[in-house]
Amino acid sequence: MKGTPNLNFVGGDRFNSIPSADAVLLKWILHDWNEELSLKILNNYKEAISSKGKRGKAIIIDIAIDEAGDGRKITELKLDFELVMLTMFNGKEREKERMREYYIRRWLQYLQDYACV
């Protein structure tokens, strides 16, 4: 990927180490993995954005299942994703509250701000 004068893309191995960064973007990453590996991934990203005493930003884009306002079709699609993640990757889709409890709250002390929408 090509960056800009104020944005650089840096690669890393999410299971071993991520270079220091001001922000990280995780799009459809956590649902590929079980909770143990998801936490390992998050801890490595946390180290990258909190190194040298700073507090970085994390942008996590993922599917939240079991939302009350979802229509039938979107619920079916989310459940299809759930089956794919489970059967192919031993991963799982999670409810928004589960994501908030299990992941976000563990990170609050390392982040400048967050939103779970």
Q: DSSP class of residue 112?
A: S
The set of catalytic residues is: 31
Q: CA distances (Å), 78 to each of 26, 64, 70, 94, in order?
A: 18, 8, 10, 10
pLDDT per residue as tens, the chain (117 positions): 787 888 888 888 999 988 988 888 888 887 778 878 888 888 888 888 887 777 788 888 877 776 677 788 877 777 777 777 777 777 777 777 777 776 666 665 555 555 555
pTM: 0.67
Provide the pLDDT for residue 15: 92
